[in-house]
Amino acid sequence: MLKLHELKETRAAKVGEMRKLINDAETAGRDLNEAEAKRFGEIKAEVGQIEERIARVEAIDEMERRADAEPVGGREMERELRSYSLSNAISGALSGRLTGREAEISEELSRGREARSGFANGIRFSVPSEIILGGETRDGQLVGTPAAGGYLVPTTLGALAGRINRPALKVEGLGATVMRGLSGDLELPNMLASGAAHWIGENENTTRSAVSFDKVGMSPKTVSGEYRMSRRLTLQSGTAVENILRGDIGQLLAQALDLAAIAGTGAANQPLGLLKTAGIGAVVASADLSDTAADLIAALELDDITGTGAFLTNPTVMKKVRKLKDADGHTMPVAEIFHDTRVETTTQVPNTLGAGNDKSALIYGLWSELIVGYWSAVDILLNPYHPDVASNGGVLLHAFLDADVVVRHPEAFANAEV
């Protein structure tokens, strides 16, 4: 079975042969003759077969990359996390008796990181990022004030309803490569350019060429969130606290990381996001959104970047898309506008671009080339000694996550302001 680069080289040679047939005919001031046209058609069919093989190999490669990036343990870890109780972990840590599954997982996640935790005071334990990434924070949770926590301590407490107005988190779902359990800074080497092949005669020396390389680096950036919780809330509302922490506090972290992956500035301790990365293709938007989508797809294909791509934009753009009508006044299918390519939408994509701050980003790319790296689980620091809570028995809960994002191949993405 030919490797991917060999298939692409074969395709390039076939395309070159097609180009030569056309050039020879044009040089002679004529169209292709019958034999040349027949040969052109044969080569075109061969190129189509090669492209199908390339697509299959790339699909397998992408699946393997995703499999390699999955957390160790897979389904076994998923089963273990089902019995994990965050409220039990908090209660145990506060009482100095963290036991059971919660203690085992915290010890495992913290192993080798004791010297660099940075937590000199307070009570620290680690929580799997899968448990906690997916909620949003609030300012201080109190039983005495209904809107700030009292509603969570009735005589009989049903299931807690989460926030309904949350930004959709799309980056990892689109296929970004996730790397967990990192320790030191990470550098990812890339081949920038290949050498060249040359035709030579008998006993002639070939022409020497060289390849060039570069690398992209990742290092941990820390995102954090904080809650203030009263003593009575932690004592009386274990189930609600569990839901708050799992479904709410992690949203602060997950939302910040997802936003940074899309539009992080690289300044003020943020990662450098996709839209701010040098080398991302810039496509001038057309009046027709379908033409713009076609230009974005072509921007990658013209650079011989093929694979399973997807669009990401915001609701402002999708509002326009859903209103588009054909000449007969019929609403046009979204799939037609985006040429049967997957499209996702989230308010995390900025809509304040351009000179008038009124343009939205429409991004197309191979999302597996966006790397999300995790250097830690979600570290929880419980601080009952802070002056704000020490005199009333409450606790400050701090959540920390160390992560970074990087675009491995910027040319695998293109963006238009629409």
Domain contains 312: no
The pLDDT value recorded for residue 104 is 78
**What pLDDT, on a 0 to 100 scale, did the predictor assign at position 137?**
36
Kindly give the parts of the chain with pLDDT less than 70: 1-2, 62-83, 87, 95, 111-122, 124, 129-164, 234-247
**How far is 25 from 22, CA to CA, in rounded Å?**
5
Strands (E), 93-211: 123-127, 177-179, 186-193
Residue 55 lies in a domain: yes
Structural domain includes residue 17: yes
Q: Does residue 299 lie within any of the structural domains?
A: no
In a domain, 126, yes or no: no
The residue among 298, 296, 248, 265 whose CA lies nearest residue 399 is: 248
Question: Which range of residues forms the domain containing residue 19?
Answer: 4-69
Query: Is residue 236 assigned to a domain?
Result: no
pLDDT of residue 71: 47
Please give the pLDDT value at position 383.
Answer: 86
| pLDDT attached to residue 115 | 43
User: How many independent structural domains does the chain possess?
Assistant: 1
Distances from the Cα of 324 to the Cα of 132, 211, 332, 341, 406, angstroms: 40, 47, 6, 17, 35
User: For 304-394, where are the E strands, in sequence order?
Assistant: 310-313, 343-345, 361-365, 370-374, 378-383
| Residue-level pLDDT at 189 | 86
SS3 state of residue 234:
helix
Please tell me the distance from the alpha carbon of residue 341 to that of residue 413, in angstroms, as a whole number.
Answer: 15
**What are the backbone dihedrals phi and psi of residue 413, each rounded to the nearest 5 degrees, phi first?**
-135, 150
- 218 within a domain of the structure (yes/no): no
Q: What is the pTM of this model?
A: 0.64
Q: Could you tell me if residue 41 is inside a domain?
A: yes
